Structure 1
Amino acid sequence: MLTPGRSLTMHAESGRELPRVEAFEALYNMGCRPRQGEVIMIAGRSGTQKSGLALFWVAEMGLPTLYFSADMSAFTASSRLASMATGDTTEMVEAGMAEGGRYRETYVNALAGSRITFSFGSPITWRAVDEEMEAYVELWDSYPSCLVFDNLMDFDSAESDYTEQMAVMSGATELARATGATVIVLHHASDKSWEAKSDPWAPPSRDQVKGGLSEKPELSLSVALDPHSQEYRIAVIKQRMGPSDPTAKRYASLRCHPEVTRFSKIERVTLFPPPEPKPWTPTAVLDKR
């Protein structure tokens, strides 16, 4: 049992804001404040670069991260990281690794400073999570600062069972409280709703997130990608300690570079109007003569 003052003192460090990522400036300007120790959901329809965003986010923050991936293969995840670090496309990374020699060495060296540790396997089980956490603590003598679960429906028995999905979210919350780690959970939004068909490049609203599970985390982000302009849209549909819009009509815009698994700010170009023409006067006509 803790008094409010003791609780604030003990948990002040865990509630600090996460390191800011330059590409997310538009998101921060909307009042979004992701914090250490929170459960964060990234929800979106199929093919909206949810895994790429999560991987880019934790890589840019540079925090020790344990990434559970059932959605990406081991090679896809590692090649995306190498692509992000070098600026080469994933196809170039794949070709270079196949070529071997100095090309392989370049990409392997590019990953030497990464603080991301992967765990691959499908489905994700809590037993596997416990074992990986024990191994991580044994290796580093501390808990990871971030945990990523990619994704919610890849947990054992949670593919379509709402009760199991709720149990996963409760387990993620308990894990965040016990370790102080930020837990990022990726989840799907409906592809069959009327909104998904009529406006597929808009972030899904809170009620389109499958199972209504976006209400459970402290922060829920809804994402969408326009494949024509590569504009990446992020809406804050739930935020316990800040503004949010459950309709997802208000969103931040980023530029997505899927070939190198990077995101960047959209630079706004200000077009200055041309100077106004001088008024006509008889004197001006005489001067021209």
Structure 2
Amino acid sequence: MLTPGRSLALHAESGRELPRVEAFSGLYARGVRPRHGEVIMVAGRSGTQKSGFALFWAAQMNLPTLYFSADMSAFTASSRLASMFTGETTEQVEAGMASGDRDRYLEALADSKLTFAFGSLSWERVDEEMAAYVELHNAYPEVIVFDNLMDFEGAESDYTEQMAVMQGATDLSRYTGATVIILHHASDKSWDARTDPWSPPSRDQVKGGLSEKPELSLSVALDPHTLEYRVACIKQRMGPSDPTANTYALMYCQPDKTRFSATRPTS
């Protein structure tokens, strides 16, 4: 039991703002303030580069991060990261690794603080990976990414299990002080998905209504023709948000390089 003053003193550090990423300047300009120790959801329809967005965000912050990937293979995730750091396409990275030019890519990844855990997602597996991480680093990760919610055991279509995952993510964040970023799907079958597929889905289109649970929920969409990447804040506990997702920050995506930028790339 804590008095309000003691609670504020103990948790002020955990609530500080996360390191800013240059590509997200438009998001910050709209009053979005991702913070340490929050649960953050990134929701979008299929094929909207949610994994690339989360991977880029984590890599750019470069905080000690444990990334659980049930959605990407080990080679896909690592080659995307190498592509991001070198500016080469993932195809070029793959060809370079096959031709024996491995040292250059390994050097590019040397300073990364990301640790990956691949395969099926369950809380037993999370406990095991967390224990291994603490054994290796003698500390909890500062960022934990779950890619994605519906890949958790039993949560493919069961609302009760999905709610349990969200509660588990919240408990994990509170216990470790880590920022938990969890990826989730929005409906591909709504009217908006059919008539306006390149706009971020509104809060009511996020499957299961689960975007209401985190402190911060972001809705993302990619226009494959212009490569404009649109990010809307549909829930923010301590700042402005727009549940309709009609107001959004604009950035640009290079899917073949897993890069995002505030301005249109010149090449």
- TM-score interval for Structure 1 and Structure 2 normalised by the shorter chain: over 0.9
The structural deviation recorded for 1:148 is 0.1
Q: Tell whether 2:117 aligns with 1:140.
A: no
SS of corresponding position for 2:221: strand
Alignment of 1:62-211 (within 5 A): 62-100=62-100, 103-122=101-120, 124-211=121-208
| Partner AA of 2:23 in structure 1 | A
Q: Which amino acid aligns with 1:113?
A: D
Q: Distance in 1 between matches of 2:146 and 2:61?
A: 17
User: Per-residue deviation at 1:104?
Assistant: 1.1
Structure 1 unaligned residues grouped into runs of 5+: 268-289
- The 2-side partners of 1:266 and 1:32 are apart by 19
TM-score of the superposition, structure 1-length normalised? 0.91
With normalisation by structure 2, the TM-score equals 0.98
State the one-letter code of the partner of 1:54: A
1:266 deviation in Å?
A: 2.2
**In structure 2, distance between residues paired with 1:225 and 1:76:** 20
CA deviation after TM superposition for structure 1 residue 99, in Å: 1.1
User: What is the identity, as a one-letter code, of the residue corresponding to 2:82?
Assistant: A
CA distance in 2 between partners of 1:30 and 1:127 (Å): 38
Map Cα deviations across residues 117-157 of structure 1 (whole Å, 9 max, x no partner).
Answer: 000002x0101100111111111010000000000000000
Measure, in 2, the Cα distance between the counterparts of 1:211 and 1:99. Answer: 46
Residue number among 239, 242, 251 corresponding to 2:239 in the alignment: 242
Letter in 2 for 1:37: G
Whether 1:222 aligns to 2:224 is: no
Measured against aligned partners, the alpha-carbon deviations of 1:68-109 in whole angstroms (never above 9, x if no partner) come to 000000000000000011101000000111111xx1111111
Deviations 1:186-220 (A, max 9, x none): 00000000000000000000000000000000000
User: What's the counterpart of residue 270 of structure 1?
Assistant: none
Helix, strand or coil for the counterpart of 1:227?
coil
Q: CA RMSD in A?
A: 0.6
Q: Structure 2: how far apart are the matches of 1:265 and 1:125?
A: 36
State how far apart, in whole Å, the 2-side matches of 1:149 and 1:138 are: 21
Partners of 2:262 and 2:30 in 1: CA distance: 14
CA distance in 2, matches of 1:63, 1:255: 23
- CA–CA separation in structure 1 for the residues paired with 2:12 and 2:102: 44
Detail structure 1 runs of 4+ shifted over 4 Å in the superposition. none
Return the index of the structure with the highest Cα Rg: 1
The amino acid of 1:105's aligned partner reads: D
CA–CA distance in structure 2, aligned partners of residues 114 and 29 of structure 1: 28
Counterpart of 2:27? Answer: 27
Q: Any idea what SS the aligned residue of 2:241 has?
A: coil
1:37 aligns with 2:34: no
Any gaps of 5 or more consecutive residues in structure 2? none
Specify the code of the residue in structure 2 equivalent to 1:76: T
What fraction of aligned residue pairs are identical, expressed as a percent?
A: 76
- Size of the aligned set, in residue pairs, is 264
